[in-house]
């Protein structure tokens, strides 16, 4: 039961990822691509969490947490780069 | 258990770190710190040599983990000799730097110490991955040092140097991965044992790994076609840095020698990859001679002489004949010290020639032309292998040990090319002069370290016999890899 | 009880997956950057939320005790996701990205 | 001990001028002459046994392992040369005192001259072949310095370099030859080698050895075709020419022929090579000597000719010829040194050496004229002078030789022809200089006799010419006999040193030479016009041209390789790697090992495909830099997921956090780089690179696959077993990092620290033009520190630090550790920089991270050193379980302290790098905002 | 699965190599980064692939090879340090040679 | 006390975080507490002024309301995303701000962004206006009013400014 639900979810998440990559590739603008990357990061949190459930292990949790905590920094950096060029000023 | 073995790594590391904590403006304090470390390294290296000379191989198990599981430092005569050479080179180089070059950018002294740490570590380690780490230590420090000071050419050469070595590091990792993947170990001695037992596809993989290692070491040692970065990088580096770099190519040669002696001297893998090294080294020798003839600057010329020494050494060592190792080591010591002296001398000339720099063209007369000229003449005689200086002894010893016509022809012709190049350079720099003296200052603090290095050549000549015996002893110990393996692995493997 | 938990976990996992997918669908098909911005920042929060709740339930059940540390992921996301969205919106306005036809109001000049 | 003293005295003398030059030239000359006289005295004493057919030997071990010993030997041949070297050397010392210009204190000159004397003595007395080569090269070096004595004169420099190049080449050949002889004979001892001539001649290497040794001899003795350097060496001061280029150095090559005569001579190859070279040199020199207008040029070519004559004699493979050769060595040295000195006097007195201007000096300096004329006559082979005697012997020997069979008449013909020209140029020297009308436009006029003592050396030499010529038996016979005996290796043939041998063919040949020579000289005008019409061959220019051509060629080769193009260099490296792979991998029989592969699932495949897509996109779009960075991030993200998938959470954590810092780094750099790169790769380059990339990629993939599917016994089980009992942690990866292989980690953080230092150094006083406008030409946004970012980043700091502490503390037992914790901390702090700016942050924390880096590495290192206290090696860990009431059991491990060092270094280094990079833009405030 | 990982390694190495050979400093940085990923995964794969067998004592029945992971960790850190240095050096080069060509102005003229 | 615990709410959050991460034990409770006190003190220079939470219950009510909104709006937005694109009526609306404190404003912008359908696009430099982009807005005025009433009001009360 849970196995199939998890498999299904993996499928959903992977499709989501593919869509993200699609947006990343076609853009058209830089913010679009960054947004797509950001979304990929967030989807991978889900991916890792679900993987943890699948293999019944909590050892991967920190990876998901780390993405949640600092994954956005790259997005902020690119956004700041777009607006200001200089990210640390 | 003696802790002396790790001292050559820890002393410069400590000095480098203390330098970071010191106040940036207190230049004298920084100089003293760096010099103290360099001075300390000499007695330490002597003590280690003393230990190694007794014939036993000293093993230092880091973290008290036995080999092959933990990392070990291994002190045999070869590593002791290299440590001593490094120490002897470092002090004059740093002294020269303390005459003012150290002010040309921040963190010179720290980088210098870390460079020493990396070099010493590479000579001591008995673990392949640890060798990688120390290579990285010495490389990253060398990047910093190569770029020390300013100048467009330096930046360009530095960029090339860095990128090529980064690619080299990637290759190193691939080779290490393959070694671990096939033999399941990283310890050099253990590797030497396990590698012998490989067969089938594993042996092919191992061959790939070893050939890749040769490429990596060849890049450090500056073999054809991996040496192209060197002339520009060395010629444009600040003098004390270039002098110190004279030992850097030798680290690559050391690594080749070490691996070859340990794993590929006899048994089923004897001579693995030796052909590749032999031909690459011969081509290196030829091209370096050509480069020396073509050089437009003294710095470039000296850099090619460095490459020439590399070709000379690697070709000889690739034969895997223990008889060659002794003379090769003698030549290695000689060429390291003399090339370093030449780099310093080149800088002294630059300083006296103003805008003419070290270009081999007519320039202003030199204020201390006679003295500099005499020094240059001596260095040139030594480096091209003419009597009465050490190069002659080294060359004769090598020629006797390597019975190969192409090697003889190339070595002798390379010597001739060096002679032609240097006589052209010398007569141009010292005698084709016009105008007025540009700079009267010579600076005793620069001349003394240069002379100290140069003095090595007559000393090496006078003491040639004991030194050759010493080197022969090193070679003898190296020839019996079981001494090393037994020391590292105990009775286990 | 076990079956119930298993069902719950399964449902939350799938719900999470669905919302994640919807968010990404939004990212893929919505017409301009500003509308696309809504897809991920909304749906993914619930998408991740669903899987977090599932994980929380699953491990609490497995270890026979409350396991709440997954909540932290949501906490961090709630702090950080709005910042990304905000910064990206500013970037988009700076770039003066095309808006969908019929968009009311005006973005601010950056 | 006498032998080394004889050799070393000149060396001692060479050092004297350094201390005495301030006393003036007179003292210099005197002090220098004394040791030479002493050496001569010693030589006289040392020679005593030699007259009785004995020999003196002395040796001292120097480099026994190379067979190079300090071995000296004084036999007849060596004695002869020693006499020449010391004797003529002494005369040159005296002569030079008067010759050198007044402003020259002579110090450098005497030093070099005596260094040369020392080298030359070494060459002739060495009893060890390597030792001989040692001195041989020293003569090349010292003569280089002597020729270039007038260093600011281009001709002197070029002449010196030419001499050095040619003789240096010969020296290297000689070295090779000597080494081969040593290889064949098994010893470098000259005495041994001389006894083993047969061994050498029968050896397969004999032709090679012979060629190499002859190359050495011929270059030194200016034999055709290596003769060209000698005339240009005349740029040297005349005493040098007199000494080196007539009496001694050029004779070193001849000496070599004589020395190796018992070992190498006697074969057909010897005959053909040596005779041909000798004859060619004899004629070439003789003919061209006539056409030299320069006094010293004439003498130089005549020297070449006479050297050819001696060589020819040694080539004839006849003992008598060898005796004649030795005899002519003596005779030539005396009359030619005298002639050079005379030429020097004339040069000094007239200010020129051009024979077209120097005429009729008889009137002005009759005494010198007599001396010069006698010496010239000796050179011409006029009877009653020494030259005549040896020339007679020479003619005789050419007649005796039948080795050319039916063509044997060629030798006497050539000899006579040489004689003809020899007489002609001697006549020219006499007539052109001392008669032939009045001087033309001399720089110094009128010329006078030189100082008294300047003439003495010439007088002595000329007297010797006459004495030997008239009373050979009592003057030179003994010396010649011992020298010839030594040369031949024992037995001396029958010969008679007599002025009159009766009417015979050699005498006829002499007469032909005399008459013919005067006839040729009589037709000189016509010959000169013919010569003037010849295309002018300036050997110096030709040689320089050759050298230039070689340099150009080498420069071309070097430019081809040393293109200064990183792409080229890298392509070489990678091509070598590709070659290694292509060479080795086809030997593989299978690309997979015995282990079954893990089953594949759809998610993995899709993720992998996306990674591949992202990697390819990065490659394709690398010129659109932002796009490339974003694609690269996707790759990094998926790589982290790969680590998660294959049980490496520690790697995933590290990769994720490094990724963030890397993106920050790249973004910081992007600001200063052009946003879009120009396309500058041609299709050829692209395809070459693509081929390399595919080859290497495929190769690495293949070996990876093979290793992954093969089971190998590794050392890892040890770590899994000992992690808890030995390292006190359950996270084996972390225990390896901080304990089993903590030394690697120590090195690794050092690398990170050094990188930070290096970067700091690189950034200091770097000025970069930053973009005034954004890539679309719009002004930058106004809002540097957006409110929302600022306010939310701040509470994130303690939160992130909390997480860092958590990750740090659990690291030893569960995924995490100091490195990741450090990166989290750095990112949290960097976020403050991004949000609020450098100035704001640095108001709150010290902005210099150098100490932090140092403290981190120091802490890790001191933890390692701490184990010394317990007598354990560096980095030995220790841990203990502590029980506290209420709190319970917890572990204290020294590894934690080490990991703290890692943590601090990471924080310090990343911040040192990025904060300083961030500060870069503060240097220029050109930014335009709305 | 091994095939897939090998494929990934191959692509990463190939793209890395290709980009390293480009003319602009930034491309070289990208290339070395990709090459670094490839090498890290390669090194990682040398210990063999295992799923959910984290090398934590007690957590797995048949733990994966921890040593390669430790090596990769070291390699990642060193790789980061090197990349950072190269990036800053690229800036320095840009600052002094006014070109982001790997050969500076010379390269600019050549191409 | 104020010196030791400048931000009690933060300390609480940190402590809870620690306990969430490590599970409850006396040791971790103590260690967590120490960290939760020390870290805010250590990072104090980084936040010059943060308003204290006055109305703890109000905060809880607000959090629950937002959670409910997120859940519901998520469904609504999901429908919009999946539905026909041309029916969308996106728009920028400006919300005049009564809040003055930067932290409070940030909480508001985050809330707006977290609730589906709206994103805080910008805050004016004088902090008087908030620019919100809505995925689908039929009546901009109503949206403005809803944001002000539903979120800004409670936030103002919680932080009492
Ligand atoms: Na005349
Ligand atoms: Na900045």
Chains touching E (at least 3 CB pairs under 8 A) are A, B, D
Confidence of residue D537 (pLDDT cuts 50, 70, 90): confident
Helix or strand holding residue F120 (H, E): strand F118-123
Please say if the pLDDT value at position D340 is more than 50.
yes
Helices (H), D351-476: 366-380, 386-400, 410-434, 452-470, 472-475
Identify the CA nearest to D483 among candidates D198, D174, D124: D124
**Under a CB-based contact definition with an 8 Å cutoff, are residues B405 and B473 in contact?**
no
Identify the CA nearest to C59 among candidates B2, A64, F72: A64
Chain D's closest residue to F15, CA to CA, is D802
Interface ipTM: 0.96
Domain that holds residue F154: 56-158
Residues 64-83 of E with CB under 8 A from D: 64-67, 69-70, 72-74, 76-78, 80-83
F39 interaction partners in chain D (CB closer than 8 Å): 798, 801-802
Q: What is chain D's mean pLDDT, rounded?
A: 92
Instruction: Tell me the mean pLDDT in the region D51-62.
Output: 92
F51 interaction partners in chain D (CB closer than 8 Å): none
- B55 vs D905, more confident: D905
Query: What is the pLDDT, as a whole number, of residue B355?
Result: 86
Chain F's closest residue to C102, CA to CA, is F89
Q: Worst-scoring range by mean pLDDT, B232-241, B276-285, C22-31, F1-10? A: F1-10
Measured CA to CA, the distance from residue D202 to residue B201 in angstroms comes to 51
Residues D739, D886 within the same domain: yes
Number of domains in chain F: 2
Burial of D413 (0-12, 13-18, 19+ CB in 10 A): middle
Please say if the pLDDT value at position E111 is more than 80.
no
Query: What is the pLDDT, as a whole number, of residue D928?
Result: 58
Instruction: Tell me the mean pLDDT in the region D446-460.
Output: 92
pLDDT digits (tens, 9 = 90+) for B92-125: 999 999 999 999 988 999 999 999 999 999 999 9
Measured CA to CA, the distance from residue B144 to residue D754 in angstroms comes to 8
Token pair, residue D39, equals 């050496």
Quote the percentage of chain E above a pLDDT of 90. 84
Measured CA to CA, the distance from residue A78 to residue C87 in angstroms comes to 9
Residues of A near D (CB-CB distance < 8 A)?
10-11, 13-14, 17-18, 21, 24-25, 30, 33-34, 37, 40-41, 44, 47-48, 51, 59-60, 62-63, 65-67, 69-71, 73-74, 76-78, 80-89
Please say if the pLDDT value at position D769 is more than 90.
no
Q: Worst-scoring range by mean pLDDT, B226-240, C62-76, C90-104, D843-857? A: C62-76
pLDDT digits (tens, 9 = 90+) for B371-428: 899 999 999 999 999 999 999 999 999 999 999 999 999 999 999 999 999 999 999 9
pLDDT digits (tens, 9 = 90+) for D246-302: 888 899 999 999 999 999 999 999 999 999 999 999 999 999 999 999 999 999 999
Residues D824, D768 within the same domain: yes
Identify the CA nearest to F121 among candidates F94, F148, F101: F94
pLDDT digits (tens, 9 = 90+) for B345-375: 999 999 988 888 899 999 999 888 888 999 9
Chain C's closest residue to F135, CA to CA, is C35
Question: Whole-model pTM above 0.90?
Answer: yes
Chain F's closest residue to D833, CA to CA, is F46
Measured CA to CA, the distance from residue D701 to residue D707 in angstroms comes to 10
Q: Worst-scoring range by mean pLDDT, B179-183, B328-332, D539-543? A: D539-543
Domain range summary for chain E, segments of one domain joined by +: 2-97
Burial of D930 (0-12, 13-18, 19+ CB in 10 A): exposed
Helix or strand holding residue B61 (H, E): strand B58-61
- Say yes or no for a CB contact (<8 Å) between D580 and B10: no
Q: Is the residue at B493 inside a domain? A: no
Instruction: Tell me the mean pLDDT in the region D2-10.
Output: 94
Residues F73, F147 within the same domain: yes
Please say if the pLDDT value at position D599 is more than 90.
yes
Measured CA to CA, the distance from residue C23 to residue B243 in angstroms comes to 62
Query: What is the pLDDT, as a whole number, of residue D535?
Result: 81
Instruction: Tell me the mean pLDDT in the region C77-82.
Output: 91
Please say if the pLDDT value at position D574 is more than 50.
yes
Chains touching C (at least 3 CB pairs under 8 A) are A, D, F
Please say if the pLDDT value at position B342 is more than 70.
yes
E41 touches chain B (CB under 8 A): no
- Say yes or no for a CB contact (<8 Å) between A33 and D626: yes
Confidence of residue D501 (pLDDT cuts 50, 70, 90): confident
Residues D382, D400 within the same domain: yes
Tracing tokens 């004889």 back to the chain, one arrives at D6
Measured CA to CA, the distance from residue D886 to residue D2 in angstroms comes to 96
Nearest ligand atom owner, CA of D914 = 2
- Under DSSP, is residue B74 helix (H, G, I), strand (E, B) or coil? strand
Number of domains in chain B: 1
Token pair, residue D695, equals 């080859």
Residues in a beta bridge with F96: F129
Quote the percentage of chain D above a pLDDT of 70. 99
Chain D's closest residue to F13, CA to CA, is D799
pLDDT digits (tens, 9 = 90+) for E7-47: 999 999 999 999 999 999 999 999 999 999 999 999 999 99
Chain D interface, best mutation among A35, A61, A86, by max D CB count within 10 A? A86
Confidence of residue B493 (pLDDT cuts 50, 70, 90): very low
**Under a CB-based contact definition with an 8 Å cutoff, are residues E75 and E27 in contact?**
no
Identify the CA nearest to B85 among candidates B119, B132, B57, B50: B119
Identify the CA nearest to B394 among candidates B304, B471, B455: B471
Q: Is the residue at F3 inside a domain? A: no
Query: What is the pLDDT, as a whole number, of residue C43?
Result: 63
Measure B152 CA to nearest chain E CA, in Å. 6
E64 interaction partners in chain A (CB closer than 8 Å): none
Query: Going by C-beta distance under 8 Å and a sequence separation of 6 or more, which residues neighbour residue D251?
Result: D81, D84, D221, D307, D329, D333
Pick from D778, D783, D789: CB nearest C83: D789
Please say if the pLDDT value at position D148 is more than 70.
yes
Confidence of residue D245 (pLDDT cuts 50, 70, 90): confident
**B and A touching (3 or more beta-carbon pairs closer than 8 Å):** no
Quote the percentage of chain D above a pLDDT of 90. 75
DSSP notation for D20-89: HGGG-HHHHHHHHHHHHHHHHHHHHHHTHHHHTT--EEEEEEEEGGGTEEEEEEE-HHHHHHHHHHHHHH
pLDDT digits (tens, 9 = 90+) for B432-491: 988 888 877 888 899 999 999 999 999 999 999 999 999 999 999 999 999 999 999 985
Token pair, residue D264, equals 């190498």
Domain that holds residue B216: 3-488
DSSP notation for B357-372: TTBSS-BPPPTTHHHH
Number of domains in chain D: 3
Nearest ligand atom owner, CA of D438 = 1
Query: What is the pLDDT, as a whole number, of residue D342?
Result: 94
The CATH number of residue F62's host domain is 3.30.70
Instruction: Tell me the mean pLDDT in the region B144-166.
Output: 92
Query: What is the pLDDT, as a whole number, of residue F2?
Result: 67
**CA dist D658 to D819, E76, F113, Å?**
10, 8, 28
E57 interaction partners in chain D (CB closer than 8 Å): 720, 723-724, 730-732
Please say if the pLDDT value at position F48 is more than 70.
no
Query: What is the pLDDT, as a whole number, of residue B492?
Result: 45
Measure B185 CA to nearest chain E CA, in Å. 10
Q: Is the residue at D697 inside a domain? A: no
Residues F88, F115 within the same domain: yes
pLDDT digits (tens, 9 = 90+) for D790-826: 999 988 999 999 999 999 999 889 999 999 999 999 9
- D778 vs C87, more confident: C87
- Say yes or no for a CB contact (<8 Å) between F120 and D844: no
- Say yes or no for a CB contact (<8 Å) between D851 and B62: no
Measured CA to CA, the distance from residue D628 to residue D606 in angstroms comes to 21
Q: Worst-scoring range by mean pLDDT, B316-330, B331-345, D539-553, D747-761? A: D539-553
Quote the percentage of chain F above a pLDDT of 70. 96
Measured CA to CA, the distance from residue F86 to residue D300 in angstroms comes to 105
Domain that holds residue D404: 266-522
B409 touches chain E (CB under 8 A): no
pLDDT digits (tens, 9 = 90+) for D625-648: 899 999 999 999 999 999 999 999
Residues F19, F65 within the same domain: no
Please say if the pLDDT value at position F47 is more than 80.
no
Measure D789 CA to nearest chain F CA, in Å. 9
Q: Is the residue at B278 inside a domain? A: yes
Helix/strand/coil (H, E, C) string of D530-587?
A: HHHHCCCCCHHHHHHHHHHHHHHHHHHHHHHHCCCCHHHHHHHHHHHHHHHHHHHHHH
Any idea what DSSP says for residue D491? P
Q: Please give the span between the terminal C-alpha atoms of chain C, in angstroms, as a whole number.
A: 56
Measured CA to CA, the distance from residue D126 to residue F143 in angstroms comes to 109
Helices (H), D435-538: 452-470, 472-475, 477-488, 505-522, 524-533
Query: Going by C-beta distance under 8 Å and a sequence separation of 6 or more, which residues neighbour residue B219?
Result: B164, B165, B168, B171, B226, B252, D573
Residues 789-808 of D with CB under 8 A from A: 789, 796, 799-800, 803, 807
pLDDT digits (tens, 9 = 90+) for E67-91: 999 999 999 999 999 999 999 999 9
């Amino acid at each position: 039961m849970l196995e199939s639900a998890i498999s299904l979810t993996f499928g959903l998440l992977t499709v989501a990822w593919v869509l993200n990559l699609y947006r990343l590739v076609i853009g058209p603008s830089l913010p679009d691509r960054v947004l797509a990357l950001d979304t990929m990061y967030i989807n991978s949190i889900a991916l890792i969490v679900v993987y943890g459930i699948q293999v019944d292990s909590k050892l991967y949790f920190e990876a998901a947490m780390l993405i949640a905590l600092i994954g956005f920094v790259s997005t902020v950096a690119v956004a700041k780069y777009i607006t200001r060029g200089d990210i640390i000023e | 258990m003696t802790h002396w073995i790790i001292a050559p790594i820890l002393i410069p590391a400590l000095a480098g770190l203390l330098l970071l904590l010191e106040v940036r403006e207190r230049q004298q304090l920084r100089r003293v710190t760096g010099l103290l470390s360099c001075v300390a390294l000499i007695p330490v290296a002597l003590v280690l040599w003393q230990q190694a000379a007794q014939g036993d191989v000293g093993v230092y198990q880091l973290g008290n983990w036995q080999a092959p599981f933990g990392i070990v430092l291994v002190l045999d005569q070869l590593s002791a000799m290299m440590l001593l050479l490094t120490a002897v080179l470092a002090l004059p180089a740093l002294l020269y730097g303390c005459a003012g070059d150290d002010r040309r950018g921040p963190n010179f002294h720290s980088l210098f110490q870390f460079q020493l740490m990396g070099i010493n570590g590479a000579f001591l380690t008995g673990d392949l991955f640890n060798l990688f780490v120390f290579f990285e230590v010495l490389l990253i420090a060398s990047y910093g040092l190569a770029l020390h000071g300013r100048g467009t050419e330096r930046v360009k050469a530095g960029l090339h140097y860095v990128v090529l070595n980064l690619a080299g590091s990637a290759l190193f990792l691939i080779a290490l991965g393959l070694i671990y993947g096939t033999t399941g170990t990283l310890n050099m001695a253990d590797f030497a044992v396990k590698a012998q037992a490989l067969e089938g596809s594993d042996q092919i993989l191992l061959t790939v790994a070893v050939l890749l290692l040769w490429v990596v070491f060849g890049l450090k040692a500056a073999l054809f076609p991996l040496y192209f970065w060197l002339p520009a990088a060395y010629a444009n580096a600040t003098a004390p840095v270039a002098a110190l770099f004279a030992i850097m190519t030798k680290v690559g040669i050391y690594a080749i020698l070490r691996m070859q002696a340990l794993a590929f001297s006899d048994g089923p893998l004897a001579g693995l990859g030796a052909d590749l090294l032999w031909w690459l080294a011969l081509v290196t020798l030829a091209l370096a001679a050509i480069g020396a003839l073509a050089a437009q600057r003294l710095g470039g010329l000296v850099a090619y002489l460095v490459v020439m020494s590399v070709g000379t050494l690697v070709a000889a060592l690739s034969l895997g004949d223990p008889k060659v190792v002794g003379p090769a080591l003698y030549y290695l010591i000689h060429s390291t010290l003399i090339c370093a002296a030449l780099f310093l001398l080149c800088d002294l000339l630059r300083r006296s020639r103003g805008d003419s720099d070290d270009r081999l063209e007519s320039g202003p007369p030199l204020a201390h032309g006679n003295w500099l000229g005499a020094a240059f003449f001596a260095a040139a005689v030594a480096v091209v292998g003419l009597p009465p200086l050490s190069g002659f002894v080294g060359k004769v010893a090598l020629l006797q040990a390597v019975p190969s016509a192409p090697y003889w022809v190339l070595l002798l012709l390379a010597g001739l090319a060096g002679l032609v190049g240097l006589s052209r350079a010398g007569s141009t720099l010292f005698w084709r002069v016009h105008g007025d003296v540009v700079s009267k200052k010579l600076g005793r603090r620069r001349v003394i370290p240069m002379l100290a290095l140069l003095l090595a050549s007559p000393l090496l000549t006078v003491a040639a016999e004991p030194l050759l015996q010493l080197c022969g002893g090193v070679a003898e110990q190296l020839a019996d890899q079981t001494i090393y393996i037994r020391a590292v692995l105990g009775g286990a493997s | 009880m076990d079956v119930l938990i298993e069902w719950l976990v399964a449902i939350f996992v799938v719900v999470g997956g669905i919302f994640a997918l919807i968010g990404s669908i939004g990212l893929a098909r919505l017409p301009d950057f500003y509308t696309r911005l809504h897809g991920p920042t909304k749906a993914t929060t619930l998408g991740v939320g669903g899987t977090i709740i599932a994980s929380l339930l699953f491990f609490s059940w497995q270890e026979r005790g409350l396991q709440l540390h997954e909540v932290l992921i949501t906490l961090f996301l709630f702090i950080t996701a709005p910042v990304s969205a905000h910064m990206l919106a500013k970037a988009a306005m700076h770039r003066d990205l095309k808006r969908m036809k019929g968009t009311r109001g005006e973005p601010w000049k950056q | 001990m006498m032998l080394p003293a004889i050799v070393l005295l000149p060396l001692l003398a060479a050092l004297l001028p350094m201390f005495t030059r301030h006393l003036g030239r007179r003292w210099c000359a005197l002090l220098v002459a004394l040791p030479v006289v002493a050496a001569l005295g010693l030589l006289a004493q040392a020679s005593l046994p030699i007259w009785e057919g004995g020999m003196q030997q002395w040796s001292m071990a120097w480099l026994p392992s190379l067979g190079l010993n300090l071995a000296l030997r004084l036999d007849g041949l060596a004695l002869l040369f020693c006499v020449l070297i010391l004797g003529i050397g002494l005369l040159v010392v005296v002569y030079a005192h008067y010759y050198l210009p007044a402003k020259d204190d002579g110090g450098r000159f005497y030093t070099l001259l005596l260094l040369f004397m020392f080298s030359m003595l070494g060459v002739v007395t060495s009893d060890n072949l390597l030792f001989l080569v040692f001195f041989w090269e020293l003569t090349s070096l010292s003569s280089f310095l002597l020729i270039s004595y007038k260093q600011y004169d281009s001709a002197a420099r070029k002449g010196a370099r030419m001499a050095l190049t040619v003789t240096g080449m010969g020296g290297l050949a000689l070295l090779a030859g000597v080494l081969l002889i040593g290889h064949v004979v098994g010893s470098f001892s000259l005495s041994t080698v001389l006894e083993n001539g047969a061994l050498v001649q029968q050896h397969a290497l004999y032709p090679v050895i012979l060629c190499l040794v002859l190359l050495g001899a011929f270059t030194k003795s200016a034999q055709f075709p290596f003769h060209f350097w000698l005339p240009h060496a005349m740029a040297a001061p005349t005493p040098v020419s007199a000494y080196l280029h007539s009496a001694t150095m050029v004779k070193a090559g001849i000496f070599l022929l004589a020395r190796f005569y018992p070992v190498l001579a006697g074969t057909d190859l010897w005959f053909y090579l040596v005779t041909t070279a000798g004859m060619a040199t004899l004629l070439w020199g003789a003919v061209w000597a006539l056409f030299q207008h320069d006094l010293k040029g004439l003498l130089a070519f005549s020297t070449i000719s006479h050297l050819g004559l001696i060589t020819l004699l040694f080539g004839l493979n006849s003992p008598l010829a060898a005796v004649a050769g030795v005899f002519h060595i003596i005779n030539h040295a005396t009359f030619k040194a005298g002639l050079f000195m005379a030429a020097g006097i004339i040069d000094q007195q007239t200010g020129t050496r051009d024979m077209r201007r120097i005429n009729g000096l008889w009137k002005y300096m009759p005494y010198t004229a007599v001396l010069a004329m006698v010496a010239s006559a000796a050179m011409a082979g006029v009877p009653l002078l020494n030259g005549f005697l040896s020339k007679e012997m020479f003619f005789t020997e050419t007649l005796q030789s039948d080795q050319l069979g039916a063509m044997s008449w060629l030798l006497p013909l050539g000899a006579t022809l040489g004689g003809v020209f020899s007489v002609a140029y001697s006549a020219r020297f006499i007539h052109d200089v001392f008669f032939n009308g009045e001087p033309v436009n001399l720089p110094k006029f009128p010329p006078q006799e030189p100082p008294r003592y300047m003439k003495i050396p010439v007088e002595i030499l000329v007297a010797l010419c006459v004495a030997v010529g008239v009373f050979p038996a009592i003057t030179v016979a003994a010396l010649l006999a011992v020298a010839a005996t030594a040369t031949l290796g024992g037995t001396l043939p029958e010969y008679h040193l007599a002025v009159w041998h009766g009417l015979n063919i050699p005498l006829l040949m002499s007469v032909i030479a005399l008459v013919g020579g005067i006839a040729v000289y009589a037709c000189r005008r016509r010959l000169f016009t013919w010569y003037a019409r010849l295309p002018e061959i300036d050997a110096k220019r030709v040689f320089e041209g050759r050298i230039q051509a070689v340099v150009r060629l080498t420069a071309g080769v070097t430019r081809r390789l040393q293109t200064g193009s990183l792409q080229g260099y890298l392509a070489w490296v990678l091509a070598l790697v590709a070659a290694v792979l292509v060479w080795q991998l086809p030997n593989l029989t299978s690309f997979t090992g015995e282990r079954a592969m893990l089953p594949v699932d759809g998610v993995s495949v899709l993720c992998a495909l996306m990674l591949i897509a992202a990697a390819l996109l990065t490659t394709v779009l690398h010129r659109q830099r932002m796009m490339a960075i974003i694609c690269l991030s996707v790759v990094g993200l998926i790589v982290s997921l790969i680590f998660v998938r294959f049980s490496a959470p520690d790697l995933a954590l590290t990769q994720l956090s490094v990724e963030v810092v890397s993106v920050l780094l790249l973004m910081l750099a992007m600001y200063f780089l052009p946003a879009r790169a120009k396309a500058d790769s041609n299709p050829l380059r692209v395809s070459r690179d693509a081929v390399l990339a595919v080859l290497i990629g495929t190769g690495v993939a293949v070996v990876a696959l093979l290793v992954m599917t093969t089971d190998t016994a590794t050392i890892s089980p040890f770590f899994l077993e000992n992690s808890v009992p030995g390292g006190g942690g359950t996270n084996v990866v972390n225990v390896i990092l901080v304990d089993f292989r903590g030394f690697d980690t120590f090195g690794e953080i050092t690398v990170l620290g050094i990188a930070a230092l290096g970067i700091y150094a690189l950034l200091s006083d770097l000025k970069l033009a930053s973009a005034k406008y954004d890539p679309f030409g719009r002004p930058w946004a106004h809002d540097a520190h957006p409110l929302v970012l600022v306010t939310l980043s701040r509470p994130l700091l303690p939160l992130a630090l909390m997480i860092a502490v958590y990750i740090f503390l659990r690291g030893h037992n569960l995924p995490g550790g100091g490195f990741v914790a450090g990166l989290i901390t750095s990112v949290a702090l960097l976020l403050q920089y991004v949000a609020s700016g450098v100035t704001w942050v640095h108001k709150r924390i010290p902005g210099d991270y150098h100490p932090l880096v140092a403290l981190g590495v120091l802490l890790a290192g001191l933890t390692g050193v701490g184990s010394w206290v317990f007598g354990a090696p560096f980095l030995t860990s220790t841990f203990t379980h502590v029980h506290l009431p209420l709190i319970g059991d917890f572990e204290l491990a020294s590894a934690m302290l080490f990991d703290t060092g890692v943590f601090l270094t990471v924080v310090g280094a990343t911040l040192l790098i990025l904060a300083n990079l961030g500060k870069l833009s503060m240097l220029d405030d050109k930014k335009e905002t709305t | 699965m091994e095939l897939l990982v090998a494929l990934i390694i191959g692509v990463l190495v190939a793209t890395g190599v290709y980009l390293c050979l480009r003319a602009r400093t930034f491309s070289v940085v990208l290339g070395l980064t990709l090459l670094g990923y490839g090498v890290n995964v390669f090194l990682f794969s040398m210990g063999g692939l295992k799923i959910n067998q984290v090398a934590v004592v007690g957590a797995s029945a048949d733990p994966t090879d921890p040593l390669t992971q430790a090596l990769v960790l070291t390699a990642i850190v060193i790789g980061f340090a090197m990349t950072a240095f190269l990036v800053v050096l690229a800036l320095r080069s840009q600052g002094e040679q006014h070109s982001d060509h790997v050969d500076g102005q010379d390269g600019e003229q050549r191409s | 006390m104020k010196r030791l615990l400048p931000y009690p709410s933060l300390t609480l959050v940190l402590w809870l975080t620690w306990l969430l991460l490590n599970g409850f034990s006396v040791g971790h409770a103590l260690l967590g507490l120490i960290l939760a006190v020390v870290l805010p003190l250590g990072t104090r220079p980084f936040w010059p002024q943060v308003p204290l939470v006055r109305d703890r219950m109000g905060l809880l009510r607000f959090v629950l309301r937002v959670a409910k909104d997120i859940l519901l709006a998520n469904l609504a937005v999901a429908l919009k995303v999946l539905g026909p694109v041309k029916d969308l009526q996106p728009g920028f609306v400006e919300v005049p701000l009564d809040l003055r404190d930067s932290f409070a404003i940030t909480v508001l912008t985050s809330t707006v962004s977290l609730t589906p359908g709206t994103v805080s696009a910008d805050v004016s430099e004088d902090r008087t206006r908030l620019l919100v982009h809505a995925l689908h807005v039929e009546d901009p005025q109503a949206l403005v009013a809803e944001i002000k009433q539903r979120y800004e009001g409670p936030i103002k009360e919680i932080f009492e400014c």
